[in-house]
Amino acid sequence: MFNQRLDTLPDYPFPRLAALLDGITPGKDPLVMSIGEPQHEPPAMITEAMIANAHLWHKYPPGQGTPELRAAIKGWLDRRYDLPEDMIHRDDHIIPVAGTREALYLIATCVIPQDQPGPKPKVLLPNPFYQVYCGAAVLNDAEMVPLAATPETGFLPDLDQIDDETLAACRLFFLCSPANPQGAVASRGYLERIIGLARKHNFVLAMDECYADIYDRDAPTGALEICAAQNSNMDNVLVFHSLSKRSSAPGLRSGFVAGDAKIIKQFNRLRSYCSATIPMPIMAASTALWNDDAHAEANRDLYRAKIDIAAEIFGNRFGFHRPAGGFFLWLDVGDDEAATKKIWAQEGVKVIPGRYLSINGPKGDNPGARFIRIALVHDLATTRDGLSRINAALSR
């Protein structure tokens, strides 16, 4: 009575972590640094906009979002990526979504062909990866192809290692930049190449850019910037953005998808049958957030200060590197599960083993097994305390 493909999915990371630590008493007051849930104070404009629009709770929200929200998103894309004014059209290239997790999953349903002759469709994804990429592939009866993203590859998939047969069968390629968990940022040349592959082999490039406004020094290049330089050609390209990280508002469940108008049209058709839409007061708050860059800059400064603390504490040990984007540390600890248990037992800090964010490659090796992920989501004092405790445990 159930979809048997559910049984082929790897276990979700956080239940695995709970099982790993079950029965271990934390050595100090517990501190959770395993979950990427921003703890910064959300902008006051969220509450203000929702109160001002509270009379709209009784309205069914339009699936394509309000014109004002789509205009605010277009404005942000134009500012953030210096796009030509006539490249993004509010009504053709943008769909607001109730969080990008749903959208990243459903795009596979939209673009992976079913019951066609020939090789099974393939979905390519970085390894480690955001778990929804895996679910999107498996539950849409595609072959998942994990591409190791290790220190040796710059923490991004090595495009040279993908053979022509795999590319020919690929229908969807997930790429996250800045990357979760390693913080790597795809260069302009890398993005030009992967977009070229998408068009040559006719697959959809799904660019997860949810950490685009959280960066250390240089603003990460976005896929739409590359499209702009190619006569505003957005064929085969979609970008996914969210307010969860940019605006410290994960509970808002508000993001958007933008790009190829042909895919957006079909995606909107699919979503009309199955997707939750964003309530009108939340759309009003989202409009205010996309129209404002000052709060995102202040948010970014806080994360940068926490990276400074991490650099001070870890120096050049445990493979520490300043992540170019995002708010995670990806530390090389040798044995991720052993280190996770030790940190919890001795110092009461919860991190997550890297192998729980990855799967075994073709040779049985797991590219996350040497690493732990630490989420720098707390205030500065709590972050310093947590990182100091982690350092103490790892140094014993």
Please answer whether residues 336 and 372 qualify as being in contact, where contact means their C-beta atoms are separated by less than 8 angstroms. yes
pLDDT, residue 362, reads 80
Instruction: Report the Cα 131 to chain-centroid distance in Å.
Output: 10
Averaged pLDDT of the chain: 96
d(CA 15, CA 352): 11
Ordered structural domains, the chain, with CATH: 4-41+295-395 (3.90.1150.10), 45-292 (3.40.640.10)
According to DSSP, residue 193 is labeled: H
Is the pLDDT at 1 greater than 90, yes or no?
no
Is the pLDDT at 378 greater than 90, yes or no?
yes
Residue 364's pLDDT band (boundaries 50, 70, 90)?
confident
d(CA 325, CA 216): 6
Which residue type, as a one-letter code, is found at position 325?
A: G
pLDDT, residue 8, reads 87
d(CA 140, CA 122): 10
Region for 273 from its dihedrals, namely left if φ exceeds 0, alpha if ψ lies in -120 to 50, beta otherwise: alpha
Please answer whether residues 198 and 173 qualify as being in contact, where contact means their C-beta atoms are separated by less than 8 angstroms. yes
Which residue type, as a one-letter code, is found at position 227?
A: C
CA distances from 126 to 52, 123, 144, 275, 367 (A): 42, 10, 10, 26, 10
Give the angle subtended at the CA of 339 by the CAs of 29 and 322, to the nearest 5°.
90
Beta bridge partners of residue 176, listed in sequence order: 208
d(CA 21, CA 344): 8
Cis amide linkage into residue 128, ω under 30° from 0 = yes
d(CA 45, CA 40): 14
Tell me if residue 218 falls in helix, strand or coil: coil
Is the pLDDT at 114 greater than 90, yes or no?
no
List CB contacts of 232: < 8 A, sequence separation 6 or more: 83, 84, 86, 87
Residue 380's pLDDT band (boundaries 50, 70, 90)?
very high
- Segment 199-239, tens digit of pLDDT: 999 999 999 999 999 999 999 999 999 999 999 999 999 99
Please answer whether residues 204 and 219 qualify as being in contact, where contact means their C-beta atoms are separated by less than 8 angstroms. no
d(CA 15, CA 342): 18
Burial per residue of 224-248, b for 16 or more beta-carbon CB atoms within 10 angstroms, e otherwise: bbbbbeeeeebbbbbbbbbbbbbbb
Please report which helix (H) or strand (E) contains residue 103, including its range. Answer: helix 100-111
CA distances from 287 to 43, 104, 170, 230, 242 (A): 13, 21, 36, 29, 12
- pTM for the model: 0.97
Q: For the residues 68-93, what does the mean pLDDT come to?
A: 98
* Nearest to 103, CA basis, from 195, 172, 35: 172
Is the pLDDT at 158 greater than 90, yes or no?
yes
- Segment 40-59, tens digit of pLDDT: 999 999 999 999 999 999 99
Is the pLDDT at 118 greater than 90, yes or no?
no
Which residue type, as a one-letter code, is found at position 56?
A: L
